[in-house]
């Protein structure tokens, strides 16, 4: 299997540029270019062709495919690397991509050093700006068969609301845990208050249909709520054309809605209506401690 590296990616970009400006056969490329940077020309040609960015025209010259043209149209090294990574994943479906469902840290740990360095140089290994979060959400959607992109976007919106709320409430910048690893059973790590730096873990649930919506709580998320000293749930009523409302829910207020294991069966997920907590929703600008 092709293993992408920053040097190999740059070589592919260079080859694409040459092929788009010149009418050359594959043999002429091999004769004219022994290396692209530090990468052997044969490896660069093999990778560029294998990822569907170039092909052989009927006259034997190297042609740039529509996918290659799209890549060439992107301005900037980081954006090109990000697009190249997605093409690489779509074409080769490397096994490590399944880790994207569990967060960025899992991908970087299992992808291998060369691919991990591509993520670093693409500006994706750290940070939470909109474009970085959008990339990881898109990657996670690919890992899940591209079925949950919209739900992920809704969840991220609520998480951003909670990040801003917590920073305003405590004066401390909270940690966005779900970006790195969403298997921990919570989304945000904050502190109890401005006068207490004890850790507070927060699981965020968001509805764009107001109190008519429901949220899914997994067993892992519930067990996290029970095993730590300080944990809350943030429920966001984030309807369009209305100011978002927040309900901050303690685990004991969720308890009545948790199923009970019976016989040989055990529950894994439960759907709970937002309306069950209707009296607790308020304008977050007037809520806090």
pLDDT of residue 287: 59
Q: Average pLDDT of 153-175?
A: 93
Q: Which of 69, 97, 94 is nearest to 83 (CA)?
A: 69
Tokens representing 275 are 């309306």
User: Could you tell me if residue 47 is inside a domain?
Assistant: yes
Task: Identify the bridge partners of residue 176 per DSSP, sorted by sequence position.
Answer: 188
| Dihedral sign from CA coordinates of 272, 275, 276, 282 | positive
Same domain membership, residue 74 and residue 36: yes
Same domain membership, residue 18 and residue 114: yes
pLDDT of residue 140: 87
User: Could you tell me if residue 153 is inside a domain?
Assistant: no
Q: Average pLDDT of 134-163?
A: 81
Same domain membership, residue 64 and residue 7: yes
pLDDT of residue 143: 81
pLDDT exceeds 90 at position 71: yes
Range in 168-177, 233-242, 255-264, 275-284 the model is least confident about: 233-242
pLDDT of residue 127: 92
Same domain membership, residue 186 and residue 48: no
Report whether 248 contacts 280 (CB < 8 A): yes
Same domain membership, residue 192 and residue 94: no
Classified as helix, coil or strand, 71 is helix
Of 89, 120, 147, the last residue of a domain is: 147
User: Could you tell me if residue 156 is inside a domain?
Assistant: no
Q: Average pLDDT of 137-141?
A: 87
- DSSP letters spanning 164-232: HHHHHHHSSPPEEHHHH-TTSS-SEEEEEETTEEEEEEEEEEEESSGGG-EEEEEHHHHHHHHHSSSEE
Of 147, 172, 201, the last residue of a domain is: 147
Q: Per residue in 201-234, pLDDT tens?
A: 999 999 988 898 889 999 999 999 999 999 999 9
pLDDT of residue 32: 93
Classified as helix, coil or strand, 25 is strand
Same domain membership, residue 266 and residue 215: yes
Q: What is the mean pLDDT of the chain?
A: 91
pLDDT of residue 147: 46
Same domain membership, residue 140 and residue 15: yes
Residue with tokens 């401005």: 194
Q: Tell me the CA distances in angstroms from 188 to 101, 156, 179, 233, 287, one per residue in order.
A: 17, 11, 9, 10, 18
pLDDT exceeds 50 at position 283: yes
Same domain membership, residue 122 and residue 56: yes
Other C-beta atoms lying within 10 Å of the C-beta of residue 211: 18
Other C-beta atoms lying within 10 Å of the C-beta of residue 45: 21
pLDDT level of residue 131 (50, 70, 90 thresholds):
very high
Q: Among 39-48, 131-140, 146-155, which range has the highest average pLDDT?
A: 39-48
Same domain membership, residue 169 and residue 142: no
Q: What's the pTM?
A: 0.67
User: Could you tell me if residue 243 is inside a domain?
Assistant: yes
Of 117, 147, 177, the last residue of a domain is: 147
In angstroms, rounded to a whole number, what is the distance separating the alpha carbons of residues 217 and 238? 18
CATH number where 265 lies: 3.40.1350
Q: How many domains does the chain have?
A: 2
What sections of the chain are H helices per DSSP? 6-21, 26-32, 41-50, 66-72, 77-92, 104-110, 113-121, 130-143, 149-170, 177-180, 219-227, 251-254
pLDDT exceeds 70 at position 284: yes
- What's the distance, Cα to Cα, between the start and end of the chain in Å? 54
pLDDT of residue 196: 92
Other C-beta atoms lying within 10 Å of the C-beta of residue 19: 22
H/E element, 233: strand 231-237
User: Could you tell me if residue 159 is inside a domain?
Assistant: no
pLDDT exceeds 90 at position 151: no
pLDDT exceeds 70 at position 239: yes
Task: Identify the bridge partners of residue 235 per DSSP, sorted by sequence position.
Answer: 205, 247
pLDDT level of residue 154 (50, 70, 90 thresholds):
confident
Domain of 201, in residue numbers: 164-286
Residue with tokens 């399944």: 98
pLDDT level of residue 93 (50, 70, 90 thresholds):
confident
Q: What is the largest CA-CA distance in the chain?
A: 75
pLDDT level of residue 266 (50, 70, 90 thresholds):
very high
Q: Average pLDDT of 140-162?
A: 78
Q: Per residue in 111-127, pLDDT tens?
A: 999 999 999 999 999 99
Q: Per residue in 34-56, pLDDT tens?
A: 999 999 999 999 999 999 999 98
């Amino acid at each position: 299997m092709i293993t992408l590296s920053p040097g190999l990616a740059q070589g592919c970009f260079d080859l694409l540029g040459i092929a788009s400006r010149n009418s050359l056969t594959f043999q002429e490329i091999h004769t004219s270019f022994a290396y692209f940077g530090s990468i052997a020309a044969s490896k660069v040609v093999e990778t560029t062709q294998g990822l569907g960015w170039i092909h052989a025209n009927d006259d034997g010259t190297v042609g740039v495919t529509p996918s290659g043209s799209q890549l060439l149209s992107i301005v900037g090294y980081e954006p090109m690397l990000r697009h190249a990574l997605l093409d690489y994943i779509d074409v080769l479906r490397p096994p490590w991509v399944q880790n994207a469902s569990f967060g960025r840290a899992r991908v970087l740990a299992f992808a291998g050093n060369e691919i991990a360095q591509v993520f670093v140089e693409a500006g994706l290994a750290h940070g939470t700006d909109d474009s970085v979060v959008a990339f990881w959400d898109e990657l996670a959607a690919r890992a899940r068969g591209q079925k949950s992109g919209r739900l992920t976007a809704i969840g991220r919106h609520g998480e951003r609301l909670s990040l801003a709320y917590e920073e305003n409430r405590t004066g401390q910048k909270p940690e966005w845990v779900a970006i790195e690893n969403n298997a921990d059973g919570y989304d945000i790590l904050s502190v109890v208050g401005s006068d207490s730096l004890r850790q507070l873990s927060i699981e965020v649930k968001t509805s764009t249909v107001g109190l008519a919506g429901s949220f899914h709580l997994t067993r892992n998320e519930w067990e996290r709520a029970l095993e730590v000293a300080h944990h809350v749930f943030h429920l966001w009523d984030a309807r369009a054309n209305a100011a978002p409302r927040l309900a901050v829910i303690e685990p004991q207020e969720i308890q009545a809605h948790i199923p009970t294991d019976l016989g040989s069966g055990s529950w894994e997920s439960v759907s709970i209506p937002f309306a069950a907590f209707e009296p607790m929703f308020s304008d977050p600008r007037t809520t806090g401690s």
